[in-house]
A and B are shown apart, each in its own frame.
Chain A
Amino acid sequence: MSDNTPQTDEPAGGETADPTNDDMLVETDVAAATSGSTAGATPDPVIRSRDLDVFYGEEQALDSIDIDIPENRVTAIIGPSGCGKSTFLRCINRMNDRIDACRVTGELSLRGKNVYDDDVDPVALRRRVGMVFQEPNPFPKSIYDNVAYGLEIQNIEGDHDEIVEQSLKRAALWDEVSHQLDSSGLELSGGQQQRLCIARAIAPDPEVLLMDEPASALDPVATSQVEDLIEELAEDYTVVIVTHNMQQAARISDKTAVFLTGGELVEFGDTDQIFENPEHQRVEDYITGKFG
């Protein structure tokens, strides 16, 4: 089990603590409440980490990460293999809890609530944070049941048929599968399966959508479909995407974070600036292919 020691020198929750959001993560059976919108000139970050360290046993995977991920933007995390980019992604919905040797310290807040606080239920957290994995992993169930799964386990009220249809439309899959909703999700092609997984992730209307190299197992056509989709999803969702493909990050993201070996966040900024005029020599070397 992970040892989630909260920062002792900082009150839990940080300065943006908001009771409604605290409840949201603590309750297991939370309805799909509308997110506390923070429409303003400088919106609060949806995800904020301070001094976040992650260890696998003795090995440090993330070293003191500070980042503010903005709402309704695509934030790409790039970096060479083993730089901790997937580890960071898996901190956001605490999927790292499933690794016994993994230990996390520091703060990682979702809308002001530190998700590593003792009173946070990881199951409730994951219901508000959707995730799409590297390999398409639809359940061996029908297309409909795949998309409706989150609605079922969260007891989300409303017309499930309607939500399933909307989610499949948002995932740009509806036209291809509307006549075969009862057939197995596994009968679809790889690219379709990945879009099904995206539909499944957005059906319960999560706060954040995490994507862990979602296109790396897909062919070029399917990849470009998924990329188009990600850009559209950013209109309504905060998307954090890990990719090893720098062109992909440049194409689809608004913000880019560059993690380099040693689990350091070396540079974080607007994607254009990162790719055209990085501040750090190491980042420039990585992006231009001199390293990594």
Chain B
Amino acid sequence: MSGDSLADDLTRRTQNAPPELLSRTFFFVCAALSIATTIGLILLLTTEAAKFFTFSAPLVGVEGETATVVEFLTGTEWQPTGGEFGVLALVTATLMVMIGSSLIALPLGVGTAIYLSEYASPRVRSLLKPGLEILAGIPTVVYGFFAIIYITPMLRPFIPGLGTFNMLSACIVVGIMIIPMVASISEDAMSAVPESLRQAGYGMGATKFEVSTDIVVPSALSGIFSSFILALSRAIGETMAVTIAAGSTAQFLNPLNPATYTERALPMTAAMIKLIGGDVTGGGLAYRSVFAIGITLFVITLAMNVISDYVAQRYQEEY
């Protein structure tokens, strides 16, 4: 090799060669598309929701019937055809799904995670984990039918006169649906706890239960919290199962009173389905309320994500 050709080799700019340029452009377009879609969705949601509210409707050039923010956020009556747009009736129903399903999914999910991470033999674990993933892969519409066909009849002996559609069976079925999420993320966090900490515990004469509850769970707390918040977001956003199981009667219920769980109710997602699939005509106030609910839901789940990130950072595992 002569000195000249070596100099040529060293100065050739490989990163500007056509295949490199082409692939870089391709990957950039992929990334840009997904971001653009997200931005587009948020824009659609906000502009459509703006048409619903009195204060913002003129800004987007909409005339006609509107609802005030106060009326929307504090009203407890949801009757779109009758001009009642109190979203609290829907928010409380969503809150009930959240509370009810987490009462089932959080303890069972964490218990499953502890079993998988600390107690199960590798063989049992290799059978159980795919089983959980199957549970997570069942279409949610199936869960909805499962609720009305199996869960409600099973509850009847304990709660006489329970209607086919009720919040309790919706909560139970959403709870079952989110167990895999809690279990799998919590199990990942627990498995990541270093073996040396378990050794320290066993070396002190701790039992398996003590090692699990005193050492592994506290060490994995941030991951466990993250799993809770992700599962709750899933419960809030869950649509099909609650639309089928909860009935579709909007009523304002007290989520903290267990007796109200035997009632029908209309969670936010189900209300949107009902509005779109029902007889609302395009452009009317009832139609635009879909987007008002949508943006409320979006704000709630966004807040959950922010909390999740904060918790994950604040309680970063320090081992």
Contacts and interface: CB of A to CB of B under 8 A. Distances in A.
**Interface hub of A125, A126, A154 (most chain B Cβ within 10 A):** A126
B120 to A, nearest CB: 13
B215 A139 contact: yes
- Interface residues of B, dominant DSSP: helix
Nearest to A139: B215
B203 A139 contact: no
A138 B219 CA distance: 12
Interface residues of B, number: 20
B319 A186 contact: yes
B205 A140 contact: no
A137 interface: yes
Interface string A119-158: 0000111111011010101111100000001100110000
A113 interface: no
Interface stretch (B145-153, B192-200, B264-272, B280-288): B192-200
A127 B319 CA distance: 24
B200 A133 contact: yes
Nearest to B207: A123
Contact of B319 (A125, A130, A140): A140
B70 interface: no
Nearest to B193: A140
B318 A140 contact: yes
Interface centre among B199, B202, B203 (most CB of A within 10 A): B203
A95 interface: yes
B108 interface: no
Nearest to B203: A131
Nearest to A28: B207
Contact of B199 (A123, A137, A186): A137
Interface residues of A, number: 28
Contacts of B317: 140
Interface in A206-227: none
A186 B202 contact: no
A197 interface: yes
Contacts of B199: 95, 98, 133, 137
B200 A140 contact: no
A124 B200 contact: no
B202 A126 contact: yes
Nearest to B204: A150
A58 B206 CA distance: 30
Contacts of B204: 126-127, 130-131, 149-150, 153, 200-201, 204
A93 interface: yes
A184 interface: yes
B218 interface: yes
B205 A137 contact: no
Given A141-B218, A153-B210, A98 B202 contact: yes
A140 B210 contact: no
A37 B134 CA distance: 60
A186 B318 contact: yes
A252 to B, nearest CB: 21
Given A123-B207, A186-B319, A133 B196 contact: yes
B196 A137 contact: yes
Contacts of A184: 318
A93 B218 CA distance: 26
A140 B200 CA distance: 11
A126 B199 CA distance: 11
B95 to A, nearest CB: 34
A139 B200 contact: yes
Contact of B200 (A98, A127, A153, A197): A197
B199 to A, nearest CB: 6
Contacts of B206: 123, 149, 153
A248 to B, nearest CB: 21
B80 interface: no
Interface string B207-250: 10010001100110000000000000000000000000000000
A149 B215 CA distance: 11
Contacts of B219: 139-140
Given A149-B204, A153-B204, A139 B196 contact: no
B201 interface: yes
Given A95-B199, A135-B196, A139-B200, A123 B205 contact: yes
Nearest to A150: B204
Interface string B281-319: 000000000000000000000000000000000000111
Given A140-B219, A140-B319, A186-B319, A127 B205 contact: yes
9 contacts: A131-B204, A133-B200, A137-B194, A140-B219, A140-B319, A149-B206, A153-B207, A153-B214, A186-B318
Given A123-B207, A126-B202, A131-B203, 15 more contacts: A95-B202, A98-B199, A123-B205, A123-B206, A125-B205, A131-B204, A135-B196, A137-B199, A140-B219, A140-B318, A149-B204, A150-B204, A153-B205, A197-B200, A201-B204
Q: Which 9 A-B pairs have the closest CB atoms?
A: A127-B205, A131-B203, A126-B205, A137-B196, A137-B200, A150-B204, A140-B219, A186-B318, A140-B319
Interface of A: 93, 95, 98, 123-128, 130-131, 133, 135, 137-141, 149-150, 153-154, 184, 186, 197, 200-201, 204
